[in-house]
Amino acid sequence: MTATNNDWIAPLQAVHTAPGPVPNGFEATSINVPDEVLDDLRLRLGHTRWPDELPDAGWAYGTNRSVLQSLCRAWRDTYDWRATEARLNAWPQYRTEVNGTPIHVIVARSPEPDAMPLLLTHGWPGSITEFLDVIEPLRNPAAHGGDVADAFHVVVPSLPGFGFSGPTPEPGWDVKRVAEAWAELMAGLGFDRYIAQGGDWGSFVSTWLGLVDPEHVAGVHLNMAVGFPGDGEITDAEAVDLTAMGDFLANGCAYQEIQGKNPQTLAYGLNDSPAGLAGWILEKFWAWTDHDGDLFDAVGQQAILDNLTTYWVTGTIGSSTRIYYETMKTGRFATHDAKVEVPTAVAQFPAEITKPPRSWVEAGYNLQRYTRYDRGGHFAALEEPDLLIDDIRAFAQTVR
């Protein structure tokens, strides 16, 4: 592991030194998006050429135009990236290189000396901005009404090819390779024993970490369960979940097909048009969150724009989708023929896109905790941060 200047992107500039010694092989950095990048974004939003839409189409054909137009107006006229940039820069950040690929990581160490390291991995179409509301209470529970015994050193990397890690410079970055890189990353940061947590692609990466680094992974915590058909009993509620999963696989996976087979073709439009990027991603927030018809009741407009801006200013929407291509090519969505023996917990939220029965999950994991919640969806850290925090804490108490 060696440090890199990450010349791939102008917005990242090392403008301060992180508190404490910088680990060997890392360099301190922060985020400073040039004004001209943000000015260009607003200019492009103002020149969007909108497509037609059938009357009363709603979301039946894809992203609703009026909702998208309202979001893009806010993105152009009122959204303040600098506030989010300041929140990100409140934490020590580093850049490094793993296998020739740049990695950006936030390392928010706890003031508690006995804190457990916790590795949070996002997915697609997410980013590290998903975790802005959970880092501080996880890191410093005593300041948020919690117990000092529940403190974590919180590590939040951007997946290779995503956000401030920048584009992957070579092929082959499937979920197993990311897990191997995360094992190297945690070792380089000096963390010998840690919990791996994630949803979406972070769920698959955390699963693989339980296999490739079991001597250092104390536990795996997932907010999107991974499971395969088995012989166990299925409850009535789980049968309903399976019906919903079948509908998702039949009608909600078009994005997986193109991102898994022709990601470069898609990238030209999404990397050139912020409205196109927003339309592609907003559909997922609409479909995968727990709401009653108003998406922004489930996930605030600010949070969605934070996420979109992260993809836009780093130019990584194309490289982010390559994880689908690479993982489909290797078939490593999950472990299939190997069981994760390290203790595992699942926080199951009702609007999640895949909800395999508990017996299916138990077939592939040493499942120690399985909790079904009555609210929340795919973006747990954004939708229900308190529930997610409490579930991670409760699980960690059993593996510390």
Q: For strands 93-98 and 101-108, give the pairing.
A: antiparallel
What is the three-class DSSP state of 144?
Answer: helix
Q: Can you spell out the DSSP letters for 289-356?
A: S--SS-HHHHS-HHHHHHHHHHHHHHT-HHHHHHHHHHHHHHT-SS-SSS-EEEEEEEEE-TB-S---
d(CA 76, CA 209): 40
In eight-state DSSP terms, residue 163 is G
Catalytic residue among 122, 153, 221, 378: 378
324 catalytically annotated: yes
What is the three-class DSSP state of 5?
Answer: coil
d(CA 58, CA 295): 13
Half-sphere exposure of residue 357: CA atoms within 13 angstroms, side-chain side: 17
Q: Tokens in use for 121?
A: 């991995």
Taking CA 153 as the corner, what is the angle to CA 155 and CA 189, rounded to the nearest 5 degrees? Answer: 60
What is the three-class DSSP state of 150?
Answer: helix
Catalytic residue among 150, 174, 200, 306: 200
Report cis status (omega within 30 of 0) of the bond before 117. no
The answer to whether 167 and 319 have CB atoms below 8 angstroms apart is yes
Q: Tokens in use for 198?
A: 């994630």
d(CA 205, CA 126): 14
d(CA 336, CA 364): 8
CA-only gyration radius of the chain, Å: 20
Catalytic residue among 94, 324, 325, 365: 324
Q: Which residues are catalytic?
A: 200, 324, 378
